[in-house]
Amino acid sequence: MSQSEIQKDLMTRDRQVVWHPYSAMPNTLPVFPVVAARGVKLQLSNGTKLIDGMSSWWCAIHGYNHPDLNNALVSQLKKMSHVMFGGLTHEPAVELAELLVEISPSKIETVFFSDSGSVAVEVAMKMAVQYWAASGMSEKYKFLTIRNGYHGDTFGAMSVSDPVTGMHNLFSGVLANNFFAPQPCVRFYDDWDSKDVLAFQELLEKHHTEIAAVILEPIVQGAGGMWFYHPEYLKSVRQYCDNYNVLLITDEIATGFGRTGKLFACEYAGIEPDIMCLGKAMSGGYMSFAATLASRRVAEGVSTGGELPLMHGPTFMANPLACSVSLANIKLLRSWDWESKISELQKQMEQELAPCRSFTGIVSDVRVLGAIGVVELTAPVDMEQISHKFVERGVWIRPFGKLVYIMPPYIISSQELSTLTSAICETVQGLSR
């Protein structure tokens, strides 16, 4: 068969048996077959190369096929690919846990590994509930969060993701009932108004005796709307959690490891969580991997001196391959001036996406923070149409709803980034035609 026939055959087979993320079956949206990836580019089966503006859903911060990360995997593979973590341990897991504790807020001292961000959130929620139960306050088992948040697709995570504007309203009748404060309104760069956090405070004051923890995405709300809110809001949340004896869980799965311009987004507010969830960029996009980090107070409180185990243990917990590549990825990040590079990316995106603000009637907002650039439209995009337009322009950008956004790999060149921003401006402007 010719290359085009092979590609057509693959697409036919895909449509018959493969269920893609957030899609119907059979999938009605276009999919593009990738055969290789290197640096910041994806190569399709027809030879087309696309500059990846998504970092494969925000995780491939050093791009693809990086020699340091490849070597870490190959080296570990020669020793062992996997071993159960129940009753056993290994050096990559211990060394990674030590490194995560070293770079995290000082209150964080313990690490629980899992295999996806959603599971990291589930573990964090279980930790919070068990902590209070072990303290003799089993009535504290609910959670407070903010609207327009997203924490994953498993049931516990869905219960603290926005039940109305989120992706999970179909399941609202079977999810645990939690508390939702209004979305923060004061933007990251605007002057702070303390009234913005009053509704949150009122909910916490009224229900703190039944709330185990507050969970939120610090500073940047990701899949729930790509919204950047004021650091003072997060600082106030920390203070109110202390005042009302409630734990604070920060979901840094999307924001961790430099994406916002800080190693962790909570640094913008100068606060420390009791529990912190990590994932996505931790393994550099090589392995499905995540972690739930906790303070010593929480870790020891959960088990009341080691008597009560935390009843969670994923089969692939602390997988040696994932630990090894994550170690290499974090060490690689710390080996260069990534903060200056993120600052440069932010300035370039601010400048080059700014023209979108003039597209009256099409664009409602343009916002940039760290290595995140967002163009919010007035109406949802036609996914099939816009996907093809971006591919025709040599870029991979995956919008959702009204949001056209990019989170490129940190290693992207200024010229490659300009290709992404130009593609957004030209494509969005063309939506009016």
The DSSP result for 95-111, as a single string, is HHHHHHHHHS-TTEEEE
Residue 280 a catalytic site member: yes
Catalytic entry in 64, 131, 141, 150? 150
Domain with CATH 3.40.640.10 in the chain: 70-78+103-301+315-334
Domain with CATH 3.90.1150.10 in the chain: 1-65+372-408+426-430
Residue 242 a catalytic site member: no
Percent of the chain predicted with pLDDT > 70: 98
Residue 41 a catalytic site member: no
Over the chain, what is the mean pLDDT?
95
- CA nearest neighbour of 253 among 298, 211, 311, 293: 293
- Please state, in angstroms and as integers, the Cα–Cα distance from residue 7 to each residue in 20, 274, 391, following that order: 18, 49, 16
CB 325 within 8 A of CB 286: yes
Question: What's this model's pTM, rounded to 2 decimal places?
Answer: 0.96
Residue 22 a catalytic site member: yes
pLDDT, tens digit (0-9, with 9 covering 90-100), for 379-392: 999 998 999 999 99
At residue 172, the 3 state secondary structure works out as coil
pLDDT category, 305, cuts 50, 70, 90?
low
CB 60 within 8 A of CB 38: no
DSSP state of 312: -
> What confidence score (pLDDT) does residue 171 get?
81
Alpha carbon distance 407, 310 (integer Å): 35
- As to burial, measured by CB atoms within 10 angstroms (0-12 exposed, 13-18 middle, 19+ buried), residue 45 is middle
- CA nearest neighbour of 116 among 259, 287, 252, 294: 287
CB 353 within 8 A of CB 421: yes
> What confidence score (pLDDT) does residue 306 get?
66
Catalytic entry in 126, 140, 262, 280? 280
- pLDDT surpasses 80 at 312: yes
Mean pLDDT throughout 230-250?
Answer: 98
Catalytic entry in 153, 251, 286, 410? 251
The CATH homologous superfamily to which domain 1-65+372-408+426-430 belongs is Aspartate Aminotransferase, domain 1 (3.90.1150.10)
Residue 169 structure tokens: 């309203």
CATH topology of domain 70-78+103-301+315-334: Aspartate Aminotransferase; domain 2 (3.40.640)
Mean pLDDT throughout 13-40?
Answer: 90
> Tokens 């956090």 belong to which residue?
197
In whole angstroms, what separates CA 239 from the centre of its chain?
25
Number of residues that make up the chain: 433
Alpha carbon distance 240, 216 (integer Å): 14
